[in-house]
Amino acid sequence: MSGKFTSSCRFFPISAVFILMLLSPGGLRAAEAPSAVIHDPVVAGTWYPGTASELRKQVEEYLSRVPEHGSKGQTVAIISPHAGYVYSGQVAAHSFKAIQGQKFDSIIVIGPSHYVPFGGVATYDCAGFRTPLGVIPLDSELIAALMKREERIRDLPGVFLQEHSLEAELPFLKVVLPGFKLVPLVMGDSDITTCRWLAEAIVKCTEGKSVLIVASSDLSHYHSYDVAAEMDQRRLQKIGALDIEGIEQCLEDRKCEACGQGPIITAMLAAKKLGAGRCDILKYANSGDVTGEKMSPRGVVGYGAACIWRPLNYRDRDEAEKKKVGIDLGLTKEERAELHAIARKAIEAGLTSGTSIPQGLQTVSPKLKEPRGAFVTLYRKGELRGCIGQIVPKMPLAEAVAAMAQEAAFRDPRFTSVRSDELGDLKIEISVLTPLKKIDSPDKIEIGKHGIVIVRNGSMGLLLPQVATEYNWDRNEFLDHCCMKAGLPRDTWQDKQTDIYIFSADVF
């Protein structure tokens, strides 16, 4: 995979003189105003009402049509569209209704750049952002911390002169969360590398704070109604499953698109690091649904609303219980250490000589000679780096771990091959599986003990036991996400024609 997303964000035309001014030496800072200056709105009075009374009435009317979200936890991030309110306002209301009444120290709004091409991420450390509903103050302390930690986050006021992606979210925030401080961010680059370092900076700089991340993005642009609906549902399914690798592949294959793809991925990465394990897709519509012009020759634009959240007590869960998953298959401490050494040697062998199994792989342990299914999961700096396994026992456990370690390192289609300079940072997790057992009722699934396999019409999804525990899912959520991993609608497990299997694992 190239690491570049397929962009659907079209830069709107602006004057060449303006672009040259912004990108000239001293460039974007040439448009900078003193810190006492308040940034004025760009699309007030056109994309949404320009007077306080009309704007508040419209926003509150949109919110009144949205049912209560009923979240079981603390919202960490939302995804909301940024078109004119007549088109996307009702969809956006679903995101903001989900956070109404919650409290946050700061709100980080991340949008794509529609007008100015530049590298990195822009912020604007002025006195505040004006809306018809009042001025929103900025969290200058957090902005400074972000810029200090990551030099690719720069104070570039010129980026904000005509940008609407961030502004469109502010009136809704002003209504549902009065009194917050804003951190405005606009992404010039939307590649996965930028998303990762920006997410890391946000997580590190907000430790000990309650922060909401708002990802501003529309979905597909200017396709026929049916094509747009198909592309957008594919994208939303991946978002709902918090499947970042799946979104990357979807974008790479041009099977989905979003103008705010960078903000969405960044929000998902940061939210997961902040303890979020659930994403609810709240609403979808496109401009054809709103206007009734489903056969427009210009095509339609898609809009989606989503809420990413974590359990209220996620920090208080006992770490030992959180990590206690699967079952004990009786492997000794020495046997587990030997399997870890075998996995690492297999990866080293693949890096140096390309051999499938390291030379001289032998074990005296009878248990490591027994045929077993096994998965090897690789992490690097807290992020998944590869995961491959075999369910059915086909070879002795020691050989299976060696083979799956190489598969995870070099042949997981979601990732590039592991490089030599990454080896020292790799954390290896091994799951030794029990045989699959078909069940006739989902009630037999025990969270923390069982992994699941769902099979329907040739599609299959598998989730290891530790996944449900890691994300604090209940049984239904576990089944929903396994269906989505199989590329099936999330409630497919409820159909009698769907086969459900359970297994357990010794995870170490």
pLDDT digit string, tens, across residues 94-119: 999 999 888 898 999 999 999 999 99
Mean pLDDT computed over every residue of the chain: 86
User: Both 378 and 472 in a single domain?
Assistant: no
Q: Are residues 354 and 412 in the same domain?
A: yes
Distance in angstroms (rounded) separating the CA atoms of residues 63 and 66? 5
The first and second tokens of residue 162, run together, are 């005509």
Within a domain: 33: no
| 477 vs 458: CA distance, rounded Å | 22
127 and 188 within one domain: yes
For helices 140-149 and 192-205, give the axis angle rounded to 10 degrees: 130
What are the helix (H) ranges across 274-413? 287-291, 319-323, 333-352, 366-369, 397-410
The position carrying tokens 């007549």 is 86
pLDDT at 45: 95
In this structure, what are the phi and psi dihedrals at residue 452, rounded to the nearest 5 degrees? Answer: -135, 150
Buried b (16+ CB within 10 A) or exposed e, 335-362: beebbbebbbbbbebbbeeeeebbeebe
Residue 357's pLDDT is 62
Is 274 contained in some domain? yes
pLDDT at 472: 72
Residues 116 and 251 in one domain: yes
What is the β-pairing status of strands 38-39 and 121-123?
unpaired
pLDDT of residue 28: 44
Which residues in the chain come in under a pLDDT of 50? 1-34, 314-322
What is the distance between the alpha carbons of residues 10 and 23, in angstroms, rounded to a whole number? 19
> SS3 of 468, please?
helix
Around Cβ 13, how many Cβ atoms within 10 Å?
A: 7
Tens digits of per-residue pLDDT, 367-381? 898 999 999 999 887
Identify the pLDDT of residue 474.
85
Report yes or no on 484 lying in a domain.
yes
| Residue 502: per-residue pLDDT | 96
The predicted structure's pLDDT at residue 355: 62
Structural domain tally of the chain?
A: 3
Same domain flag for 483 and 368:
no
- The per-residue pLDDT for 69 is 67
**Which structural domain range is residue 459 located in?**
437-507
Which pLDDT score is estimated for 354?
A: 66
3-state helix, strand, coil in the chain (%, to 5): 40, 25, 40
**Residues 287 and 87 sit within 8 Å (Cβ to Cβ):** yes
The SS3 of residue 211 is strand
pLDDT of residue 8: 39
**Is 44 within the bounds of a domain?**
no
Is position 179 within any domain? yes
Judgement on whether residues 261 and 299 belong to the same structural domain of the protein: yes
Side-chain half-sphere CA neighbours of 78 within 13 A: 29
Q: If 0-12 CB within 10 Å is exposed, 13-18 middle and 19+ buried, where does residue 6 land? A: middle
* Strand locations in 312-458 (E): 374-380, 383-390, 426-433, 437-439, 451-456
- C-alpha 418 chain-centroid distance: 22
Domain endpoint, select from 316, 341, 374: 316
Tell me whether residue 153 is in a domain.
yes
Side chain identity at residue 47, one-letter code: W
For residue 459, is it within any domain? yes
Please check whether residue 125 lies inside any domain of the structure: yes
Q: What is the CATH number of the domain that holds 343?
A: 3.30.700.20
